[in-house]
Chain A
Amino acid sequence: MSEAPKDSQHLRVANRRLATRLTLATVAMFAFGFALVPLYDVFCDITGLNGKTGRIETSEVRADRVDTSRIINVEFVANLNGDLPFRFEPGIHKIQVHPGETRRIHYVAENLTDQTIVAQAVPSVAPTVASRYFNKTECFCFSQQTLAAGERREMPAVFVIDPDLPAGVTTMTLSYTFFAAPGSDPVALAAIPDNHR
């Protein structure tokens, strides 16, 4: 297309074809905007962006890879989002683990209301560089939790730190934030103002 088309018939065809292609490009870029969502997840898995933690199957854990020469301090933190009427805390605040070692810990959640509440725990690890090495084989954050009125529940999480964890990392913090599950329960949602939904 380095030379401009010469007569009106050709010009019209050329214009149409070009407009069609550019429109397709536009549609493709719109789709790409949405494709950024799964791409972002892949990107996060690779880079550990945003402290997204890994999830692996129990069978993937290899007992022979425990690195007893290193000790990692792992801290546990519990948070509630918005005005979720829960009491939520880790069973233990800090443990020391070897990379490759499978450890089970638990958190305790209590529904302080007289109604059933559905909530979702969101995990996050600091520092971000370490998060992709923090793998969970079992976690209450894998699915929504339904707590009956006044129910108190111990919730387990089983994790193993990948022995490939960069040498500089000595302290890791695992944080869970409980959110009211979106659209699940009128009581839980009552804690979030209408215009905030």
Chain B
Amino acid sequence: MMAFLRMAARALVVVTALLPAVTLADSSLNMRQGVTTLSREIYDLHMLITWVCVVIGVVVFGLMFYSIFKHRKSAGAKAAHFHENVTIEVLWTVIPFLILVGMAIPATRTLLAIEDSGDPDITIQVTGYQWKWKYDYLDHDIGFFSNLATPPEQINNTQEKSEHYLLEVDNPMVVPVNKKIRFLITSNDVIHSFWSPDLGVKRDAVPGFINASWATIDEPGIYRGQCAELCGINHGFMPVVIDARSEADFNSWVADQKQAVVAAQQAAEETWTMERLMQQGAEVYGRACVACHQVTGMGVPGAFPALDGSAIAIGPLEAHLEIVMQGKTGTAMQAFAAQLSDSDLAAVITYERNSWSNATGDAVQPAQVKAAR
């Protein structure tokens, strides 16, 4: 019995040490307050329920542990004979009900606000893809993919992990602060879930269906989240990064984006040197291909084929163009025609044909890709 008491006391110490931790506002322990009115309301709700649970827990467990210490047989306790009491049973049915009503009221209020996505200042369509996001700015005619930017060397532990390991992307969603941003969320393939903890927004992306949510961000900053619904192999590798800027900065970003589209069109008209193709190709390979085919070009045996020495990568160019642009039946190989520009496709195919032990010497031009579309 003494051994039990000693152990129980130790367990109690551990529990009491952990309890305050539950309520710490430290962001590494607790839900983030976030940067929108709604996310703060959600946080307040969360803290309210947490405290209600802690208080009930302390009372119930307190009585329980008191009884465990006080009503031990070894301490001479004799069992009482009561085994029902209608009054108290009614009380502990009614009181919890009232507490629940007290919690339901603010919860309902916040929920109604969350679901009111009308009158937006800006609308962004978010489309989930295996395993990246696409952001389309419906009011600005801008659209781009957002891929994980963490290099595979960091994931495979051959390089030190950077500060925002797995929470960094090539193209973040850039948004203005103090504007009502409406997200229209859908998917191209399986169900994903668009989640930004700082915005208090989590909505499933369902193929064929469109979901709406919204946020008005108070302060500029970079807000990081992740896909929250299991969507296949690389579910853990499709972060959501939102870059909130002042309105002026946002407008100049929009202008830059439009400029970039024009520049890309011009670049596609040019004839590219081998060096330029290889440089650009390595970059594109790093974000579009490396997750499956690996840095080494060796793929993952049994799951993803090697490109190094493969019949496609050193065989006729037409077949290589087709598989990259149209995907391959029966495999996870996607069609990249809609996802990559002519120059990017030309570059990455050139890269694949001239890397590792592959040495075809082909310098594929954007014009060739355009012709193959």
Contacts and interface: CB of A to CB of B under 8 A. Distances in A.
Contacts, number: 92
B229 to A, nearest CB: 16
Interface stretch (A30-38, A120-128, A146-154): A120-128
B116 interface: yes
Interface stretch (B36-44, B202-210, B299-307): B202-210
Contact of A124 (B127, B210, B337, B373): B210
Interface residues of B, number: 35
Nearest to A112: B373
Chain B's interface: helix, strand, loop or mixed, by majority? loop
Interface in B300-339: 326-335, 337-338
Nearest to B120: A171
Interface residues of A, number: 33
Contacts of B335: 83, 85, 191
Given A77-B125, A93-B138, A175-B186, A126 B327 contact: no
Classify the interface of chain A: helix, strand, loop or mixed: mixed
Interface in A137-151: none
Given A124-B210, A127-B117, A79 B127 contact: yes
B163 interface: no
A51 interface: yes
Contact of B334 (A75, A80, A83, A127): A83
Contacts of B127: 79
- 9 shortest A-B CB distances, which residue pairs? A194-B330, A83-B335, A126-B212, A175-B210, A170-B118, A122-B208, A124-B209, A124-B210, A126-B210
Interface of A: 50-51, 75, 77, 79-83, 85, 93, 112, 122, 124-129, 168-171, 173, 175, 177, 179, 190-195
Given A122-B208, A168-B116, 16 more contacts: A50-B206, A77-B210, A81-B189, A81-B208, A83-B327, A83-B335, A83-B337, A127-B115, A127-B212, A128-B211, A175-B186, A175-B209, A190-B326, A193-B327, A193-B330, A195-B330
22 contacts: A77-B125, A81-B207, A83-B326, A83-B327, A85-B326, A85-B337, A124-B210, A125-B210, A126-B184, A126-B210, A127-B212, A128-B211, A128-B212, A168-B116, A168-B118, A171-B117, A171-B182, A173-B212, A175-B186, A177-B207, A193-B331, A193-B332
